[in-house]
Structure 1
Amino acid sequence: MNKKVEIVKLTSGEISALWSTYMGDSIVVCVLTHFIDTYTDPEILPILEETILVAKKHMNEVEELFIKEKIAVPEAFKVQKHVVSKAPKLFSDMFYMQYILQMCRVGISSHTTSFTISAREDVRKMYKDFIDDASQVYNDVVNLMQEKGTFVRMPLMNYPTEIDFIEKDKFLTGWFGRRRSLLGIEVAHLMINAVQNELGKATCAGFSQVAQEQEIRDYFLRGGHLCKHILNSIHDVLGESDVPISMSWDQSVTNSKVAPFSDQLMLFIIGILSNLGMITYGTGLSVTMRRDICAMYANFIIKAGAYGEDGMDLMIERSWLEQPPQFTDRNQSANQN
């Protein structure tokens, strides 16, 4: 390592990014441990093993850097504490592949953001490697799902054959009367949000069957209803333009009543899905040019935010939420002195 790098302290952005990476990969290791214990299709095992090895590698590299910098390593989620050994299969192999697919999409995006906010050369190199790792897993899982016929492609559209310009402000409307057909970019983001809510609905359905506490079980049921509401709204918009609707994964949940994970881990996973929902709704909002769809996305963000906050309250009440790195509260320090 360059000596110049060694004397440069990590920035707040770098510390926070590394902390989040460590937390996220600890969840991946827990989830994949159950997947590997319960898979039935031998063709998916290499993908499961590749994914868990990548997550463990990332955790080890972040931990080594934290120890070197004398930064506290997060408690995160330990397999021994949060994964129930020999628990029955809760989700189908199809769900396993879809979960890894979405996880890779999130990983590529978050690692790219972490790369762009990092200044130190060693951290930038680390995140470049992480992006490459996540991209490789993504390619492998897409290839396997395409071979099995379970990969959901974006809808096809006619190729543009001429250049045109927008001449009427009706292009932006959508409240009353005949709405214009959807743009390709609008469909792409509607489909991304539909697929993500299909995953959320299936996850909430499975977790609601096995949660130990009734309050947490009810929270998961509420999450499933929210995902269903959002899916129906998205399907209505897609249906107006005769766009094929994404497939449903309700059949991905088994009848098991035994929890494979702790309530704490399941709550945290649903919290992550809520946060991802707000991010993807915001991204969809930023590229949409119809006012009715913009309003729909804004409504999704409000509902997902309120749901996610209630989940955080449940974790805080039980002292389950590990505090992320934060700046020193000078007033509190002064009062303590």
Structure 2
Amino acid sequence: MSERSIRLSSSEIAALWATYIQENMTVCLLIYFLHHNQDVEIKPILERALQNSETHLQQITDIFQKESIPIPDGFSEKDVNLAAPPLFYDMFGLSFVYSLTRLLMINGSFLTANVARKDVLDFFITMNYKSTELYRQATELMLSKGIYDRPPYVPYPDKVEYEDKLSYISGFGKKRPLNVAEIMEIFFNIERNYFSLLLCMGLLQVVKDKEIHSFIKEGKKISEQQIRTFNDILMKEELYGIITTNVEVTDSTVSPFSDRLVVTLFHSLNGIDIALLGHAVSLSLRSDLVAHYQKYIAEILIYSAKGVELLMDRGWFQKPPHAPSRRDLQKID
């Protein structure tokens, strides 16, 4: 059977559709960061990230056109106001690429495991490779600029140990020390929320729509709560891997992005956050950590629903491709 005669499966359409929306938003944001960037070391990384995303968009477009699948309604230059003063300093653009590539590697690997048709599988394998290379470059530059904060260090183990007591999973009363997997999840949750906090800080200065402003303010509060919760856990464990944040937001009050782009971006970030918190639950054995993660998953699910409602109220919610209603098709007039 030839490759072209194999129809795209539902999971392949879903993966390509979601990636198109994500990469389309990314192009708009990278164009903005590049327009204002003054750092000659950061510029090549932003340019490569933009080239990658534009290539991905074209490749997905080609696949959809061959299959006669409508291209999602994307964002354009109308959604980015390059005449607006810079809202973030150059280091935030570098942090954006770092955070973006981390999420692409995580999400891209998941999507790769759910596709099979050769052209789609090749696309995601290549995308993952390019994301990994870009992550390496962004991380190396952050290290050289002294803005990459390493997770906490622990002593090397000197032997393999086994545990046979249920107290190992207890997170209330007398607790055991955190294991390295739990430290990892806590640290990167804090890091992710610091990035979200800076994003919210900037957008709260420029978004004029009261409903959207309130929505962003609520998101900022959730990020602040997570940072406090998990920083407190590290402090109590005397693991001082606390991320220090330099304010990377300017004093601009002119929005560089359309409201539609802003709300869609938050909708996308909410989905990623829920997935990563779920992953943290799967690796955490102390019951207090599981309780914290479950609490925030529930909060973000409610918050995410408000974002979807905002998108629908404004006519901005784009339905992904879906299965037909067999009940409707089987009705007899």
TM-score computed with the length of structure 1 as normaliser: 0.95
1:280 aligns with 276
Q: 8 Å contact 2:151–2:241 — kept in the other structure?
A: no
For residue 225 of structure 2, the aligned residue among 226, 229, 238 is 229
2:316 aligns with 320
For residue 297 of structure 2, the aligned residue among 275, 297, 301 is 301
Tell me if 1:187 matches 2:169. no
Q: CA deviation at 1:94?
A: 1.7
User: The residue matched to 1:181 in structure 2 has which SS?
Assistant: coil
Counterpart-to-counterpart distance in 1, 2:149 and 2:325: 48
Which residues in structure 2 correspond to 1:239-258 (within 5 Å)?
A: 239-249=235-245, 251-258=247-254
Letter in 2 for 1:19: W
Q: 8 Å contact 1:209–1:256 — kept in the other structure?
A: yes
Q: CA deviation at 1:331?
A: 3.1
- 1:129–1:243: structure 2 CA closer, same or farther, 3 Å change rule? same
For residue 104 of structure 1, the aligned residue among 101, 104, 126 is 101
Letter in 2 for 1:20: A
Q: 8 Å contact 2:234–2:240 — kept in the other structure?
A: yes
- Percent identity over the alignment is 27
2:145 aligns with 148
Q: 8 Å contact 1:212–1:263 — kept in the other structure?
A: no
- 1:336–1:132: structure 2 CA closer, same or farther, 3 Å change rule? farther
Counterpart-to-counterpart distance in 2, 1:325 and 1:212: 33
2:91 aligns with 94
Structure 1 stretches of at least 4 aligned residues deviating more than 6 Å after TM superposition: none
1:60-116 C-alpha deviation (Å, 9 max, x unpaired): 0000110011110111222x2211122111112221111111110111122222221
2:158 aligns with 161
| Aligned residue pairs, count | 333
Counterpart-to-counterpart distance in 1, 2:331 and 2:203: 44
Counterpart-to-counterpart distance in 1, 2:118 and 2:138: 30
Q: CA deviation at 1:43?
A: 1.2
2:74 aligns with 76
Counterpart-to-counterpart distance in 1, 2:95 and 2:224: 18
1:179-208 C-alpha deviation (Å, 9 max, x unpaired): 111101100000111111111111111111
Q: 8 Å contact 2:22–2:268 — kept in the other structure?
A: no
Counterpart-to-counterpart distance in 2, 1:324 and 1:259: 28
- 1:142–1:90: structure 2 CA closer, same or farther, 3 Å change rule? same
Alignment gaps of 5+ in structure 2 = none
For residue 32 of structure 1, the aligned residue among 12, 30, 33 is 30
Counterpart-to-counterpart distance in 2, 1:110 and 1:170: 34
Q: CA deviation at 1:222?
A: 1.2
1:114-157 C-alpha deviation (Å, 9 max, x unpaired): 22111211111111111111111111111111111111222111
Q: 8 Å contact 1:37–1:86 — kept in the other structure?
A: no
Alignment gaps of 5+ in structure 1 = none
User: The residue matched to 2:15 in structure 1 has which SS?
Assistant: helix
Q: 8 Å contact 2:87–2:249 — kept in the other structure?
A: yes
2:261 aligns with 265
The CA RMSD over aligned residues, in Å, is 1.5
Counterpart-to-counterpart distance in 2, 1:135 and 1:174: 35
Letter in 1 for 2:82: S
Counterpart-to-counterpart distance in 1, 2:292 and 2:282: 12
Q: CA deviation at 1:274?
A: 1.4
User: The residue matched to 1:252 in structure 2 has which SS?
Assistant: coil
User: The residue matched to 1:229 in structure 2 has which SS?
Assistant: helix
Q: CA deviation at 1:168?
A: 2.1
Q: CA deviation at 1:247?
A: 2.1
